[in-house]
Amino acid sequence: MDYKLLTPGPLTTTKSVKQAMMVDHCTWDLEYKTITQEIRQKLLSLAGVSETEYTTILMQGSGSFGVESVLSSVIGPNDHVLICVNGAYGRRIVSMSERYKLTHTVYEVAEDEIPQATAISEMLEKDPSITAIAMVHSETTSGILNELEEIAKLAEDKGLLFIVDAMSSFGGIPIDVSALSIDFLISSSNKCIQGVPGFSFILAKRDQLEKRRNYARTVSLDLYDQYETMEKDGKWRFTSPTHTVLAFHQALKELDEEGGIYQRYMRYLTNNRLLRQKMEELGYQPFITKHQGPFITSFLYPKQAAFDFDNFYQHLKQNGFVIYPGKISTVDCFRIGNIGDIYPEDIHRLVKVIENYTEVAYAG
């Protein structure tokens, strides 16, 4: 059965991205290593950062492996990280910090609110031992888009390390990495770049990475070690996900063909606005009312007692769309992503399917 994924990653990829995987590549072959280097270069240029100031490290595993690699490799014994939380991905950073026994403080706000620089500033005043701030940009739990600017400025003014999980936003919205002075930004192959799952990537400020070279607590996720090896000639430490890398290389070309990040952002924004407008016309209320991001939307279960998510899900699947269950801890929601190889005509088609379901399910 053929269907489109309206999930925030893995997401619907193009045929040509899938086609790029039909080659078995050798990992130490020069051609393959060159592809890795091209990807690393391209990610720097997408981020608008210079190669002297920043580098890119590719890391095997899903996005969480990239986040864990950063936390376990760059937070030193004398560091104290302030973690902003407004959803499950922020909480995952907390879990990792607990596991590695990193000195950390949690700043948590409700899932429909964004972390505030003023509150962080107060926490920093009270506790001068804080040396780092970690936060999620697009909190995929709800679809809310956290604001980076003011928090970034605080981090820079106070000389704090700034770590951003931009998993579901990088490539889908302009992020001025250098102006925000982000030290470590993490994203992955299967989100807004529109590749397939298999690795994460980290944009890292070179001087911070160098300074923190001896902090790694694991071998496999040692960010500096991976960097050092990759920097030589594009060779990954340990087996790399070759097919995924080829698909990602193709996906980067297609991002260029689309016109770059801004054009992609405009497409996502159009999809998202259309989706929310049409869903609200059908009576579905979004969970986020302020700071909704352009990537994924959480909708509250409709008031009708008859609403059954599994039934709804199966109906959509049979009609060509797969959506996500909710992840909000306090209310029942389902989520619809609008990233990937998705266009307004897909949203129109989806909304028709939902309209038909709504009519049948709640008739009489």
Ligand X SMILES: *Cc1c(COP(=O)(O)O)cnc(C)c1O
As measured in angstroms, the least distance from the Cβ of 256 to ligand X is 23
Residue numbers at the binding site for ligand X (CB under 6 A): 8-9, 62-64, 89, 136, 138, 140, 165, 167-168, 188
Residue 188 and residue 60 in contact, taking contact as beta carbons nearer than 8 Å: no
As measured in angstroms, the least distance from the Cβ of 183 to ligand X is 17
Q: List the beta bridge partners of residue 81.
A: 104, 132
As measured in angstroms, the least distance from the Cβ of 63 to ligand X is 3
Residue 86 or 226: the one with the smaller Cβ distance to ligand X is: 86
Residue 186 or 230: the one with the smaller Cβ distance to ligand X is: 186
Residue 165 or 346: the one with the smaller Cβ distance to ligand X is: 165
Residue 54: exposure state from Cβ atoms within 10 A (0-12, 13-18, ≥19): buried
As measured in angstroms, the least distance from the Cβ of 358 to ligand X is 28
As measured in angstroms, the least distance from the Cβ of 362 to ligand X is 32
Residue 67 or 152: the one with the smaller Cβ distance to ligand X is: 67
What is the Cα–Cα distance from 88 to 155, expressed in whole angstroms? 23
Residue 20 or 186: the one with the smaller Cβ distance to ligand X is: 186
As measured in angstroms, the least distance from the Cβ of 191 to ligand X is 6
Residue 63 or 286: the one with the smaller Cβ distance to ligand X is: 63
